[in-house]
Structure 1
Amino acid sequence: MTDSVPLRHARTVVEEPSPATGSAILRRTVRRHRTRLIVSSLLFGVHQLCETMVPVAIGLIVSRAIDTGDVTAMIVSLVGLAALFVTLSYAWRIGARIIVVAIEREAHLVRVEVAGRVLDPRGVRTELSAGELLTVSTSDAEKESWILDLIARVFASAVAVVASAVALLIIDVPLGLAVLIGTPVILIALQRLAPLLTRAATAQQARIAGVSGMATDLVSGVRPLRGIGAENAATERFVTSSRTALAATLKLARANNVYQGLSATVNALLAVGIAGTAGWFALQGRISVGELITVIGLAQFVIEPLTGLARIPGVVAMVRGSADRLALVLGAEHVLPQSKSAVPARTDL
């Protein structure tokens, strides 16, 4: 038996409120991994800055070493170029390692939180089936954590675009203005398609979760189904639901393909326009051969960060859809009220 414990030695359990919306879940994710997110973003920014400096360095080597035939300048330039590649390589490796750790930890925390919510003795008031809850605790928990990688990559892409624009401004003002003005215009135009991707991603994730839930229910209820001879009816229902999920997945894939194809075409046209203008300036003697090489290299390089920025709406749609589904569980009320009894701080046998 245990001795009774006076009330003054007892403590009341206070449950920390869970976020009730997808936006709140995403904000909490960023807040509790902010240190790793900041460090990783800075390292990714260094990587992209060094990547931007590669065509600039090649242009300088052509102008100051190859054109002049200066052997000393060539040796110094090659050493500097090697140091540049070492810096960008290690910045990427360390930054990626840091952000991956943050992503995996966040996914683990959310999985445990969803499991604790579902397995709580008071129950949880939700319309999701057992299979859908399994999908939320696994797939959606993982995709929600991608917000950390998204923020870090957006920062890095922005650094690359700004650095490229500054380098082009130094070479020739119109070339730099083309990047500074063209980039926001492209992003704003592509942003118009974001709501379509968000709706398609949300519908697709809901359909996949429904099929997973039905599969779980069918596996767990094989014996009862056989007992009442309902195997065919259950099979037909599962086939119909699976086809609906397939249609939603194909719709999302088509929307993403159209979006990415459009963004890639627009970004390529901007890069071709910059390179063509630089070639015309070089023929007029407005810029040197080394500067022309730099501009062509930057025009080719800037396609990558522009494409990364253009993909933001698609990834945000997927992340936001998963966060909203997590909120259906984490923000749901318990079936039974919380007990008013106190939990003893200690017990004596």
Structure 2
Amino acid sequence: MSASGPGPTVQTAWSVTRLALRRSRKGAGATTLMVSVHQICEASTPVIVGLALDDAIARGSVAGTWAWIALLAGIYVVLSACGNGAGPVGVRACTRAEHDVRQAVVARFLDPRGMKGERSTGEALSIASSDASEVGNSVHALASGVSGLAALGVATLALFVTSPLLGLVALVSVLVVVFVAPLLARPLQQRSAAQQEAAAQSAAVAVDLVEGLRVLGGIGAEQTAADRYREMSQVSRRARVRAGAAEALFEGVTSTIGGFLLVAVAAVGALLAMRGELTAGQLVAGVGLAQFLVGPVSRIAYAGALAATTYASARRIADLLNTDYAVGEPAADLPGAVPGQDGIALGVERVHGGHLRGLDLRVLMGEFVAMVVDDLGERLELLDLLARRHDPATGRVMVDGVPAEQYPLDDLRRRVVVVPHDASLFTEPVADILGPRPGPALVAARAEEVADSIRELGSLQGGRNLSGGQRQRLSLARALAIDPPVLVLDEPTSALDAVTEAAVAAGLRDLRAGRHTTIVITSSAGVLAAADRVVFVSEGRVVASGRHEELTFDERYAGVVLA
């Protein structure tokens, strides 16, 4: 039985948004306040002009006129300071919010407990970049929405003071916006989610093509791959167009409401002025406020569209964060992991899974064992079990005589290091790749000249400046430099010629045999011949075990290794 651990904390789109705003709340609040003050100052401008017209200009008071001009200048100073200051503060808050969300996404992908279900590289890239960026825009959505509402409130109140009828007209328009906006936001949310999903699929295809470019070139499949990407990119384009159409409809309807508001207030104001119920200053203030209200309505429309896309991305991130763990940490009441005294470094006991059918395996401390697995599914499942990326359906994996699930995951993965066949290399100097004393590991992997070339270039450019064999030897040297008690390698010499392969196998044996345990899953005759023992796995179980020379008389083994 595997140790059970608690599932991830349940997240929602709103909790993801709160995460984005947690550290940036002061910046978001300051941005919202400054933009709101900016909007209120703009709303007060036509009111001040109207008051100046009635109070000073109409009476011919020069001193009064200058006083109103001074007040207006002061308003513009505050307006300008808040408008210019909100920009950098908002960008900083938005960037911090985006960063915090991206950190949470990356932490979930890198959690040692893993996650159930497969996530493609393209999907992971889309969520960690595009979706995190959209959620970071919640700062802009908050600032635009609150400032728009504040401006609408102040301008509507000013219209009520000027004329209750004008205020009523503005209030009706505001209520229409408040009720219509959520109705239009729903299809926008759905289409935004579909667009993000299509973009993720397109990115996944692009990443697959880039990673397999050499293979595609070797088999002449470049055109087929290009056609596939073209098809997926068109799906993404059509999804974006549909999302853009919904966004345009949203903004168009709300802007039209704002235009009708301007016309209605101007018409009512002109009628009241003609009837002598409004002064010239009040008419100017009313029409100016009506014209100003188009801006806040547009800001609310922009905030609504932004909130819709933010919500769609936040929901995708929440779905990721809610993905169940593949394995659990040991329960608190389990005994501590104490290495056994039976001399067995790694044991697999009657394991059943998707491909394995009662696999039994014992590897002694210090033993160098090679494994031949004739089925790719069996090989990948075995590697996942040894790395404890998931637990077996039945049976168990033992490490130093203790069930693997009783080790804390970090401790287990320091004891048992599983190196995949396609291990990634990063852009970094040799010291960061191999540590301060890489000599023995480089010699064993026959990678000294590879390290010398990297030193000359300054850093490793993600492995792009190396051949396949050089990348493989450097990856092996990196694994050997860690010097773990149990090292599991998957086809570590497949890109090497026979002479170099034999030298690497001998170096691997000389460096680790008798000190630490090494398991190599391979079909290479050179590595198999250097191993203390070869285990042959077929149909999900061990069918033969012995020296390579002995097993070559087994037809099944020979068919896999010598074919």
Q: TM-score, normalised by structure 2?
A: 0.56
**How far is the alpha carbon of 1:275 from its aligned partner?**
0.9
> Counterparts of 2:54 and 2:8 in 1: how far apart (Å)?
63
Q: Is residue 2:145 matched to residue 1:154?
A: yes
Per the alignment, do residues 16 and 154 of structure 1 end up closer, same or farther by CA in structure 2, a change over 3 Å counting? farther
Tell me what 1:304 maps to. Answer: 295
> Counterparts of 1:178 and 1:119 in 2: how far apart (Å)?
56
User: Structure 1: any 5+ residue segments left out of the alignment?
Assistant: 1-13, 345-349
Q: Is residue 2:263 matched to residue 1:272?
A: yes
> Counterparts of 1:19 and 1:86 in 2: how far apart (Å)?
47
> Counterparts of 1:173 and 1:67 in 2: how far apart (Å)?
24
Q: Which amino acid aligns with 1:36?
A: G
> Counterparts of 1:150 and 1:255 in 2: how far apart (Å)?
17
Larger mean CA deviation between 201-210 and 21-30 belongs to 21-30
> Counterparts of 2:127 and 2:304 in 1: how far apart (Å)?
22
Q: Equivalences for 1:182-201 in 2 at 5 Å?
A: 182-201=173-192
Q: Which has the larger radius of gyration?
A: 2
Cα deviation 1:92-135 (Å, max 9, x = unaligned)? 23333333222111111222232232233443334431012112
Cα deviation 1:144-197 (Å, max 9, x = unaligned)? 011122112211111111111111111110111111232112331232222211
Q: Which amino acid aligns with 1:146?
A: N
Q: Is residue 2:158 matched to residue 1:167?
A: yes
> Counterparts of 1:124 and 1:75 in 2: how far apart (Å)?
70
**How far is the alpha carbon of 1:17 from its aligned partner?**
5.1
Q: Equivalences for 1:57-136 in 2 at 5 Å?
A: 57-136=48-127
Structure with the larger helix share: 1
> What is the percent sequence identity of the aligned residues?
31
Cα deviation 1:251-270 (Å, max 9, x = unaligned)? 11222222222221121011
User: Structure 2: any 5+ residue segments left out of the alignment?
Assistant: 331-405, 412-563
Q: Which amino acid aligns with 1:163?
A: V
Q: Is residue 2:234 matched to residue 1:240?
A: no
1:68 partner SS: coil
Larger mean CA deviation between 158-167 and 331-340 belongs to 331-340
Per the alignment, do residues 112 and 99 of structure 1 end up closer, same or farther by CA in structure 2, a change over 3 Å counting? same
Tell me what 2:428 maps to. Answer: none
> Counterparts of 2:7 and 2:282 in 1: how far apart (Å)?
59
Q: Which amino acid aligns with 1:327?
A: A
Aligned pair partner of 2:204 in 192, 201, 213: 213
Tell me what 1:8 maps to. Answer: none
Aligned pair partner of 1:329 in 320, 327, 340: 320
> Counterparts of 2:212 and 2:220 in 1: how far apart (Å)?
12
Per the alignment, do residues 338 and 227 of structure 1 end up closer, same or farther by CA in structure 2, a change over 3 Å counting? farther
When the two structures are aligned, how many residues end up with a matched partner? 331
Larger mean CA deviation between 106-115 and 27-36 belongs to 27-36
> Counterparts of 2:208 and 2:298 in 1: how far apart (Å)?
42
Tell me what 1:29 maps to. Answer: 20
Mapped contact 2:55–2:64 kept (Cα < 8 A): yes
> Counterparts of 2:117 and 2:312 in 1: how far apart (Å)?
17
Q: Which amino acid aligns with 1:27?
A: R
Per the alignment, do residues 243 and 145 of structure 1 end up closer, same or farther by CA in structure 2, a change over 3 Å counting? same
Q: TM-score, normalised by structure 1?
A: 0.88
1:302 partner SS: helix
> Counterparts of 1:302 and 1:117 in 2: how far apart (Å)?
44
**How far is the alpha carbon of 1:332 from its aligned partner?**
2.0
> Counterparts of 2:281 and 2:220 in 1: how far apart (Å)?
79
Tell me what 1:228 maps to. Answer: 219
2:114 partner SS: coil
**How far is the alpha carbon of 1:21 from its aligned partner?**
2.6
Coordinate RMSD, CA, aligned: 2.2
Q: Which has the higher contact order (CA 8 A, sep 6+)?
A: 1
Per the alignment, do residues 188 and 292 of structure 1 end up closer, same or farther by CA in structure 2, a change over 3 Å counting? same
> Counterparts of 1:237 and 1:338 in 2: how far apart (Å)?
41
Tell me what 1:316 maps to. Answer: 307
> Counterparts of 2:48 and 2:211 in 1: how far apart (Å)?
63
Q: Which amino acid aligns with 1:208?
A: A
Tell me what 1:6 maps to. Answer: none
